[in-house]
Structure 1
Amino acid sequence: MLGAPELNVVVMGLGYIGLPTAAVIARTGARVLGIDVSATVVDTVNEGRVHIEEVDLDGLVSGVVARGTLRASTEVAPADIFVIAVPTPFADDHQPDIAYVLQAATSIAAVLKAGDTIILESTSPVGTTEQVRDLIAQLRPDLKVPGRCTDQPDISIAYCPERVLPGRILVELIDNDRVIGGITPRCARKALAFYRRFVRGACVTTTARAAEMTKLTENAFRDVNIAFANELSLVADRLGVDVWEVIRLANRHPRVNILSPGPGVGGHCIAVDPWFLVAAAPEETPLIRTAREVNDGKTDHVVAQAETLLAATGDAPVACFGLAFKANIDDFRESPALRVVQALAQSHADRIRVVEPYAQALPPTLADTGATLVDIDTALETCPVLIVLVDHDLFRSIPLEERRGKRVLDTRGLWPDQPLAPA
C-alpha cells in the first residue's frame, strides 16, 4: 500500500467514482490532483469535505487533504498518470455519448509529456479507448502514441473500468479484481504497475476492446437477470400469487438463484450500459434490448398500480418511501423510484409526501410539484397510504404496529408481515 511520494496523478472527474478513487490513490502517498468542472465541488474537496454520501469517504478525504496528498482544481496540470472518471450518459435515442471523455482527453493532451500514462475508467462503448488514442495523436503530433507508431511509443493508454458497489466503494476499490486493457500489451503492463499500488484483488491484463466489452457484459448480465425477476412479478400479479414467496421457494433449488424484483432498474451502470451493446450491435442483441424494455416497463407498471391505489383512497395523503436507485445511498441517477414519484406528483401534487433519509431537500425535478419531503414519523402519523420504492435499512425498522391499517404498495418485499390492506 505504500508508494513513492514523487508519483503525480491527475483524476479527471470528482463524482461517485472519481473522488473515492482519487482519495484511495492519495492514501498511498502519491500526490493527486482531482479535476472537476464544478467550482463548488473543487472548493468542497479542498476544504477536506465531500459532496457525496459514501461510507467512510468523508474521513478519508479529510485525512489526505490535510496531509497534502490530495487537492482539487478546475484546471489540469502535468502529471505522470491521468485517470479519466467522467460520466458517459446516453442520448434520448439510447446512443452513447462520450463527449465528456473526449473533453477530458483534450484537456490532458495539452499537458502530456513522454512517459505519461492515460487510463480511462469511465464505462464506455467498445472502441472508446482507441478514440482517445486517436484524439491524442491528432492533438499532439509531437508524441508517438501506441498502436500508431512502429517504434516504442512515448505514452501509454489503457482502459480499466470501475466495478464497485455504492455503499462499499472504498472497500471494493481495493479488494475487487480489476480488468486492465491496454492499447498494446506494454500499455497494459504500465497501467498494471499503477493499480498494484492500491489494489489487493487480482489485476488481469487484456486488450482495451476486451476490457471495454467486459464492463458492458457484466452490467448487461445483471440487467437481464433483474428483468427476469421483474417479469416474474408481473406474471404473479396477474395470477394473484405472492412473487416473494415464489422466489423464496424457487431459490431452494440448488441451481436456481432468482434476484429480487423492484420498481425498475436505476443507477449509472445497469440502467445505461446495456444500451451501449445494443447500439453497437442492434441486430445481435434482442435479449439485452428486451431486458432493458422490461425493466423500464416495470416502472410504468408500478405507476399504474399506485394510480389505482390513489384513486381508491380519495384525497388521502400518500407517503412514498425512497428516491434513491438502491438502498442506503444518496444516488438518484436513473432511479426508478424517482420516476415513480415524479409521475405521481404531476397527477396528485400536494397529496405526495416523500420519505428519503439520504436527502436534505427534494431533487430539482420534484421541487415545484407540490410534493413535500417529510420524516418517517410524520409520514406514519399522517399518511394512510404507503408506497415502498427503496429498501433502505431505516425503512425495515418500522414495526408492524406502526403500519397496521395502512394501505401499502410494497415494490421491494420489505414488509412481508404486512397484512392485507383494508378495502
Structure 2
Amino acid sequence: MRILHTSDWHIGRSFHGHSTLEALRGVLETLTAQVRDHEVDVVIVAGDVFDSAAPAAACYTLLSDTLRAISDTGAQIIVTSGNHDSAARLGFQSALLRDGIHVVTDPLTIGTPITIADGAGPVHFYGIPYLEPALVRHVWEGIDLRTQSQAVEHAMRLVNADLTARGGRSVTISHCFAAGVEATPGVERDIQQGGLDVVSLSTFDGPDYIALGHIHGRQQLSDRVRYAGAPMHYSFGEADKPRGSWLIDLGAEGLSSVRWLDLPVPRRLVRLSATLDELLTDERFTEYEDAWVSAQYTDASFQRDPMRRLLERFPFCATVAHAPTLVRDSDGLTYATRVRNAKSDPELIDAFLTHVRNGVSATAAEAAIIAEVVAAHTASVPDRADGSVLPASAEASA
C-alpha cells in the first residue's frame, strides 16, 4: 500500500497581511497531481487543516475542492483535527463529503481504526485528533489527563490494545510535540499545560508508521516516526526548510520504504542585511526582487521611510528592521548634564541627535535647518555670568 503523509495546511493563514489562499491552492493542486502520478492509495492529513477555529467560507471551499480532487484520483483520504482546528466544524465538514474521505475529530473513535485493504491484507489507520486535556477528561473518567502528553499516551494505549486484538499492519496519526523535534520559534503554537508538553518517542511504539503533525518543518525522529511539515512557508523562520510530503510504502510485512516528495515554493523567502543604500542599489540583490523579503538595514542611524523606499525595489518586502552593525557605547550623560553642557540651542539639539542616532550627529544640511529654526523661534535670554549664551531650553528647565 502506498501512503502520502502531509499535514499543517493552515488554510486561511495570512503572511504579513497578505492572503495565502490562492498560492496554497496551487501547491495543493501539485500535491494532488503527485497523488495521481505516484498511484497513492491513501492520503493522510495530520491536523491543522485550517488556521483558525472559525475559517472564512473561502477556506471551506478550498478544502472541499482539494479533498474531492484527491478523491478523484482513486485515493482514500484520512484527515484528523489539530490544535488550530475546531473539531466540531471540521467534523461537520465530513458529512458533506463523499465516501472514501474520512475526517476524524471525535476522541471516542480512538482505538477504532479505519481499515483499508490491499493485496496483502488490511491496514488499520488509527486517527488521534488533537487532545486538549481540559476538553477530553470527561471522555475517559478515572484516567489522569492533566497534560496533553498524558492524553496522547492514553490514546496510544487504546490504539495498541485494539491493534493487539486485530493484528496486521497499522498506521497512527497524531498532532503533537514529540520528543526530539526542532520547532521554529514563534511559528508552531505551543501545545502545553504550564510549559512545553513533549510526548516521549516511546509513546508511539507499536504501529508500522506514525504520521505526525504540528511541526512546520520536515523531521525524521526515527525510520517510522516523522513530521511532514507545512506545504507552504508561513514565516521567515521556515525559509530554509523544504516543503513537501512523505511517500510511504507498506509491504506485506510492514514498513518497506519512505521517500520525500518536494512541493513547489510559490514565492521564496529571503532575509537581506546591508546598508539601506546597498539594499536599494546593489546588483547582488537583484535576484531577490520578486521574493518575499525581510530586510535589515545596518546604517548607524535610522533612515527616512525605509519600507516605502524598499518596496520600490522589492514589491514583496514584508518586514524591515534597523539593525546597526556598530552600536555606540553609552557616554553615561544624563539629559540634565547635556543641557548644562550645551553652549547654545543648536549645540543642545545636535547633542540630542547624536545620542538618539547611535553617535551620528547632524549633517551639514540638518545643521543649517536647525540654525534657521532656532534663529526664527528662540526668544532672547540673559547671558551667563561667564559671558556665554544660555540656551532658551536651559532657561526654561531652570
TM-score, normalised to structure 1's length?
0.29
- Structure with greater contact order relative to length (CA < 8 Å, sep ≥ 6): 2
Higher CA-based Rg: 2
TM-score, normalised to structure 2's length?
0.30
Q: Larger strand proportion, structure 1 or 2?
A: 2
